[in-house]
Amino acid sequence: MNGGEKDIDPKKDLDPLSELREEDEESSLPELDLNEPATGTLANGAAAIARAVKHAPSSPGVYRMIDAKGDVLYVGKAKSIKKRVTSYTRPNAHDSRITRMIAATATMEFISTATETEALLLEANLIKKLRPRFNVLLRDDKSFPYILITNDHWAPQILKHRGARTRPGQYYGPFANAGAVNRTVNALQRAFLLRSCSDSFFESRTRPCLLHQIKRCAAPCTQEIDFAGYAELVREANAFLSGRSRSVQKELSAEMETASHALDFERAAIYRDRLAALSAIQSHQGINPRNVEEADVFAVHQDGGYSVVEVFFFRTGQNWGNRAYFPKADRSLGGAEVLGAFMAQFYDDKPAPRLILTSEDFEERDLLAEALSAKSGHRIEISVPQRGERKELVMHALANGREALARKLADTASQQRLFKALTETFGLPREPRRIEVYDNSHISGTNAVGGMIVAGPEGFRKNQYRKFNIRSTDITPGDDYGMMREVLRRRFKRLIDESPRLTADAALAAVLTGDADDAPDSPWPDLVLIDGGQGQLRSATETLTELGITNVPLVAIAKGMDREAGRETFFMAGRSPFKLPPRDPLLYFVERLRDEAHRFAIGSHRARRKKDIREAGLQEIAGIGPTRKRALLHHFGTVKAIERASLADLAHVPGINAETARKIYDFFHEKAH
């Protein structure tokens, strides 16, 4: 819709971001900037915006600036859309970023909201969804892990949880990363002896599992502990995670003293070990606040054209970890602008604590606090502390942010050297911004899967990985050449249909004009790596040639003798096979790319194979009939549990002898190609 207006339910589509400053009026447009992208002229862009202003509402809302291809360039919000959009038609005081944005604009769209608060939330939602080129973009926005103690079973389970909170129980978090959760869960198991097994595994036990033997579970499954005793352990664990850690430690210490005075040294040792486990949890947490029960702490630091936002999570008076983010932002934006835009997107799909501490004051701090309060249903304070413990927490986060950015800059410099070496070694026309690596996985041709992983200067792009279930009935089982031909044909045929090659040329033009940071993220690869030798390279080249593609560099990587890493041979069209020095950093880099593709392909193959096994049943295993199948399921509960079982556990199943146990184990652990 050109210059159109849409009404929206703010409860369904909410989001935020920083506004542009109001500009002073001038009578003439500035001259065209030499770094302006070739997608349009400043005069044409300003004219398109002027046409859109006629339809712009004066109410609060969100506007989108869109280029000639229909891609969203920028999402912004305003108290008055008409007033904000009009500012783009005025010359002077526009920095180079806004000038390029105006020049590329072909049309605009508007969404009205009831309040500026709703516009802020809607803006953040749309930025995360559309990822406009000129906005500050939050990267690596994975959901945070939590600890869950269930309450839908008489013997509650403790486990790591990520995603929607649909299962009944007590959730504790967020934790900064899975490692922090895993460490805490392991220590909590030693401290409170709660089970971590699934309900089906729990119900099938006839004897305690290994976790009981190593003193990490009280084994309620076999009544090694009674209901009341296990319920007390659950109460203590919930109390500890709810912030009453000191009282729990005092209780355990008192119990240890009582047992010691009664000369029950074995029981006293159990309490000693539990106290040690709780101390281990707190020792991993580093700084713990004395007077701040619940808060998120944000600190922004800029250096070398990059921005880092360090986030610390404090819950129940404990430090539950920190994470560094490196948002994509124009270098002209200051720390306060980046932080304001980042925080609005950060809380788009996460609950906010009652207190948020920041290192910088930003223009819309009060507005964001109001929006988050309305969203959560209780008051949320966003504060920029100037003294005391809160200031110490912010400075601690800032110090961590500086260190994280220093490591990032060092890694970036190293990565740039690697990509330069990659370009020179393989004779590429420019440093690659997108590398695609392909590999196949199968067992004797069954459940064949092709995998594609994607990497760039910023690392692996896991959201762009793709798997290809081999469909063709003409391919002989185990024909790796045929599988690779099918994968490449399907991948590049779709690429031709959805993204003409011009997209890649536009990206190259942007690089050559010095506008690389704003270049469109082309789906066309600058380099394709294939696991294989001369035959795989020939098959790949023929496949792409049939599709009319002749300018995508192809490299095949063949493993050395005995498939030993470090002795790979590289094959390229028009060049003799060559090797890299054994300890060359570029060789390690290429090996890592190849290994990631191999890991992804095997993982996809195994997932497909497991699904087939579950659908076909255990009868697919030689020597397993209905009677033994029932015995296995009765003992383990599920096929997944059977798959995880050790050889010794399988041999303990009634009716399963050592030979059959070996067949079952080998079936689930057969090595994929």
pLDDT for the residue 517: 43
The average pLDDT across 577-598 equals 87
- pTM confidence score: 0.61
DSSP line for 527-573: EEEEES-HHHHHHHHHHHHHTT---S-EEEEE--GGG-TT--EEE-T
Calpha distance 136→139 (Å, rounded): 10
Instruction: Look at residue 293 and tell me whether its pLDDT is greater than 60.
Output: yes
Instruction: Look at residue 347 and tell me whether its pLDDT is greater than 80.
Output: yes
Instruction: Look at residue 436 and tell me whether its pLDDT is greater than 50.
Output: yes
Residue 130 corresponds to which tokens in the numbers above?
Answer: 């559309």
Bridge partner list, 296? 313, 356
Calpha distance 645→664 (Å, rounded): 10
Specify whether the CB–CB gap between 256 and 268 falls below 8 A: yes
- Region of 672 on the Ramachandran plot (φ > 0 left; ψ -120 to 50 alpha; else beta): beta
pLDDT for the residue 360: 92
Q: Tell me the pLDDT tens digit for each residue of 592-618.
A: 888 888 888 887 656 666 665 554 556
Same domain, 95 and 237: no
User: Running DSSP on this structure, what letter comes out for residue 463?
Assistant: G
The average pLDDT across 453-475 equals 81
pLDDT for the residue 288: 62
pLDDT for the residue 439: 86
Calpha distance 221→210 (Å, rounded): 13
**CB proximity list for 533: less than 8 A, separation 6 or greater:** 556, 558, 569, 571
Q: Tell me the pLDDT tens digit for each residue of 213-222.
A: 888 898 999 9
pLDDT for the residue 243: 62
> Who wins on pLDDT, 392 or 31?
392
Instruction: Look at residue 442 and tell me whether its pLDDT is greater than 80.
Output: no
The average pLDDT across 273-279 equals 67
pLDDT for the residue 190: 80
Same domain, 465 and 592: yes
Residue 163 falls inside a structural domain: yes
Same domain, 399 and 254: no
Residue 140 falls inside a structural domain: no
Instruction: For residue 550, count other CB atoms closer than 10 A to its CB.
Output: 9
From the number of C-beta atoms within 10 Å of its C-beta (0-12, 13-18, 19+), residue 483 rates as buried
- Cα 296 from chain centroid (whole Å): 20
pLDDT for the residue 617: 55
pLDDT for the residue 618: 62
CATH number at residue 69: 3.40.1440.10
Instruction: Look at residue 664 and tell me whether its pLDDT is greater than 70.
Output: yes
pLDDT for the residue 501: 58
Choose the final residue of a domain: 284, 308, 340: 284
Same domain, 556 and 622: no
The average pLDDT across 104-108 equals 91
pLDDT for the residue 63: 95
Q: Tell me the pLDDT tens digit for each residue of 134-177.
A: 988 887 666 778 889 998 899 999 998 887 778 898 888 777 77
pLDDT for the residue 672: 46
Same domain, 596 and 661: no
Domain enclosing residue 74, as ranges? 4-130
Least confident span in 333-347, 355-369, 573-587, 642-656: 642-656
Instruction: For residue 602, count other CB atoms closer than 10 A to its CB.
Output: 19
Amino acid letter, residue 618: L
The average pLDDT across 254-280 equals 73
Calpha distance 146→177 (Å, rounded): 9
Residue 229 falls inside a structural domain: yes
pLDDT for the residue 260: 77
Q: In this structure, is the dihedral angle defined by the CA atoms of residues 341, 346, 351 and 355, taken in order, positive or negative? A: negative
**CB proximity list for 429: less than 8 A, separation 6 or greater:** none
Same domain, 487 and 403: no
What is the number of structural domains in the chain?
5
Q: Tell me the pLDDT tens digit for each residue of 31-64.
A: 333 333 434 678 888 889 989 998 899 999 999 9
Strands 146-150 and 158-161: antiparallel
Choose the final residue of a domain: 224, 255, 284: 284
SS3 452: strand
Residue with tokens 């849409």: 6
Calpha distance 224→195 (Å, rounded): 12
The average pLDDT across 435-459 equals 78
Residue with tokens 């790591």: 160
Calpha distance 668→613 (Å, rounded): 9
The average pLDDT across 638-657 equals 79
Same domain, 117 and 239: no
pLDDT for the residue 300: 95
- Cα 364 from chain centroid (whole Å): 28
Q: In this structure, is the dihedral angle defined by the CA atoms of residues 44, 45, 47 and 52, taken in order, positive or negative? A: positive
C-alpha distance from residue 216 to each of 160, 193, 272, 277, 500 (Å)? 16, 5, 14, 11, 58
Mean pLDDT across the chain:
79
Q: Tell me the pLDDT tens digit for each residue of 403-423.
A: 888 888 877 788 888 899 999
For the chain, what percent of residues have pLDDT higher than 90? Answer: 22
Q: Tell me the pLDDT tens digit for each residue of 61-84.
A: 999 999 988 889 999 999 999 999
Residue 417 falls inside a structural domain: no
pLDDT for the residue 381: 94
Residue 349 falls inside a structural domain: yes
Same domain, 125 and 154: no
> Who wins on pLDDT, 338 or 19?
338
Sheet-wide strand order for 107-112: 4-7, 107-112, 61-66, 72-78
Residue 138 falls inside a structural domain: no
pLDDT for the residue 635: 75
CATH number at residue 340: 3.30.420.340
SS3 61: strand
pLDDT for the residue 11: 36
Residue 519 falls inside a structural domain: yes
Calpha distance 660→637 (Å, rounded): 19
Q: Tell me the pLDDT tens digit for each residue of 190-211.
A: 878 899 898 888 888 888 888 8
From the number of C-beta atoms within 10 Å of its C-beta (0-12, 13-18, 19+), residue 3 rates as middle
pLDDT for the residue 349: 78
Calpha distance 190→287 (Å, rounded): 23
Same domain, 583 and 450: yes
Residue 627, CB half-sphere, CA atoms under 13 Å: how many?
4
Specify whether the CB–CB gap between 29 and 91 falls below 8 A: yes
The average pLDDT across 480-504 equals 79
Instruction: For residue 360, count other CB atoms closer than 10 A to its CB.
Output: 19
Residue 422 falls inside a structural domain: no
Query: Which residue blocks in 107-225 are alpha helix, DSSP H?
Result: 116-130, 178-192, 199-204, 210-213
Choose the final residue of a domain: 261, 284, 307: 284
What is the band of 504 on the pLDDT scale with cuts at 50, 70, 90? very low
CATH number at residue 661: 1.10.150.20
Same domain, 601 and 623: no
Residue with tokens 């210490």: 253
Instruction: Look at residue 285 and tell me whether its pLDDT is greater than 90.
Output: no
**Measured torsion, CA atoms of residues 436, 441, 446, 450, in degrees rounded to the nearest 10:** -10
The average pLDDT across 349-365 equals 90
Q: Which of 226, 225, 250, 223 is nearest to 236 (CA)?
A: 250
Residue with tokens 């500009």: 23
Least confident span in 21-30, 426-435, 544-553: 21-30
Same domain, 443 and 317: no
DSSP line for 198-225: -HHHHHH-SS--HHHHTTS---GGGTSS
Same domain, 445 and 561: yes
